[in-house]
Amino acid sequence: MQLNRNGHASEESLEQYASGVLEEPALGEIEEHLLICSQCQEHLDEIDAYRAAMRSAAARLEAEEESRKRFWTLFSARLTLRRLAWVMALGAVILIGLSLRVWMSPRESPQALAVFLKTTRGSEVRHAPARRALELSLDTTALASYSNYQVETVDTAGHLQAQSPARTSEGKVIAALAKGLERGNYFIRLYSPSHELLREYGLVVD
Amino acid sequence: MGTQADPPGPDAPLAGPNWTALVEKIKLDDQSGMEELYRVFSRGVRFYLCRQLGPQDLEDKVHDTFLIVVQAVRKGELREPERLMGFVRTVVRRQVAGHIDQAVHARRQQVGIESGTTVIDLNRDPEEKAIQQQHEDIARRVLNSISKRDREILTRFYLLEQSQQQICDQMNLTETQFRLLKSRAKARFGELGKRRLERRDVTRFS
């Protein structure tokens, strides 16, 4: 009996009918019922639509899976040990070539950026770009003159970041920071040869 | 006369018309009998023919079917009037078989002849295509959201059209497990479809 108590086809029967596995006399019973029952016709339409959607989605997923498998099969079949060795050797040659080129090419040392620093109090804090070589010109107005100076760069926590000797030129102390600085706020400290702190300058690296 | 005046509600028991009385009316060439026959069966016949043969020339096929049924009833070929439903089914099935036979025959004759070949347009209209595409996307989501094993089970059922028994045997499943997986996937499909529909409504009215 393919019809339920309400006289309609059961879900199971309609599914079997949709998949074409129903046989006589059940098939006859369902088909005769479908001839006069719009509710079951609609239900069968829904089942057909669901089955079609599942079928095409599954087919598409299977095809994708199949092409992935085929690719890897082809790839692994072609990639014998000998070929792999050749590919790796070729890769190594290319890598060595690139390294040599980089190593042998003349290094472009970007020109150091000149930054003129005045004392922090009462003067504007200077800004400099990050990771760029800097040439610091320190204002020494009203300071005792020495033959040489020491310049230290510390961060806001007072940790030493760079230490560089300085030279004097036209009344200024020049110190170079070849590697530049990372972004942050720094203090440039100028010391006498006897390591006496003479002056402190502020520098913001952006 | 106990014929159906209105289609029954969703859960209302479906009672068939008084087939004997209906057959009598047709035999007597009573117009109301013809109308009733058409009203009871037209949708079902159309549904069956469309499902089996597609929408092409559907109205003509439905008309031919009714003509055959009415003529046969009048000639007294239907010996058991209460079997009218079965008789209509037989006629419709013969119609389908005839059309398929005709199509096969025509195709055989047209082998090698390039010109004049009638190609039935099986493409659906753009709206149906869009709906079908949406269903497929949802089904794809359902299949992607389940385990590989579960997906294989559904693929075997919907795509490879393996029987429930075969799948259960090969995948070491009980009938209950199989049914549960199927019904869960279907419920998920319905749920995702509903959500998509709601989202579309929200977008439309917002």
B125 burial via Cβ count (<10 Å: 0-12, 13-18, 19+):
exposed
**Residue B194: which CATH number?**
1.10.10.10
Pairing of strands A126-128, A197-205: parallel
- Residue that terminates a domain, selected from B79, B109, B139: B109
Choose between B172 and B105: higher pLDDT. Answer: B172
Q: Which residues on chain A are in Cβ contact (under 8 Å) with B161?
A: 19
Q: Does A63 touch chain B (CB under 8 A)?
A: no
Task: Indicate whether B5 belongs to any domain.
Answer: no
Residue B116 inside a domain? The answer is no
Six-digit token string for B98: 């005839």
* Strand (E) or helix (H) holding A135: strand A134-139
* One domain for residues B103 and B23: yes
Percent share of chain B, pLDDT over 70: 81
Quick one: which of B47, B41, B48, B45 has its CA closest to B3?
A: B41
Amino acid letter for position B183:
S
Task: Report yes or no on B12 lying in a domain.
Answer: no
Residue B105 resides in a domain: yes
Q: Range of B185's domain?
A: 126-205
Q: Do B139 and A57 touch (CB under 8 A)?
A: yes
- pLDDT for the residue numbered B182: 86
Asked, as a colleague might, if the bond just before B55 is cis with ω within 30 of 0, I would say: no
Same-domain pairing of B31 and B85:
yes
B102 and B150 belong to one structural domain: no
B126 close contact with A: CB closer than 8 A: no
pLDDT score of B2: 38
Q: Above 60 in pLDDT, residue B195? A: yes
User: Residue B206 has what pLDDT?
Assistant: 45
End-of-domain residue from the set B54, B79, B109:
B109
Number of domains in chain B: 2
Beta bridge partners of A137: A116, A174
Name residues whose C-beta falls within 8 Å of residue B2's C-beta, 6 or more positions apart in sequence: B15, B17, B18, B21
Retrieve residue B38's tokens.
Answer: 């058409």
CB spacing of B11 vs A6 below 8 angstroms: yes
* Cα–Cα distance for residue pair B91/A27, rounded to 1 Å: 15
Nearest to B34 by CA among B44, B45, B43, B23: B23
pLDDT tens, residue by residue, B120-141: 555 567 887 888 888 888 888 8
Which tokens is B201 given? Answer: 């409504």
> Does residue B4 belong to any structural domain of this protein?
no
Domain membership of residue B53 (yes or no) is yes
Query: Comparing A147-151, B52-56, B110-114, B194-198, which segment has the lowest mean pLDDT?
Result: B110-114
Domain membership of residue B10 (yes or no) is no
Q: Give the residue from A115, A135, A128 showing the smallest Cα distance to A183.
A: A128
Q: Give A-chain residues touching B154 at CB under 8 angstroms.
A: 54, 58
B13 within some domain? no
Q: What is the pLDDT of residue A97?
A: 92
Structure-token pair, residue A29:
């019973």
What ipTM score was computed for the predicted complex, to two decimals?
0.73
Do B47 and B98 lie in one domain? The reply is yes
Cβ neighbours of residue B166 closer than 8 Å, sequence gap 6 or more: B156
CATH number of the domain at B98, please.
1.10.1740.10
Beta carbons of B151 and A49 less than 8 Å apart = no
pLDDT tens per residue, range B82-104: 888 888 999 999 988 888 888 88
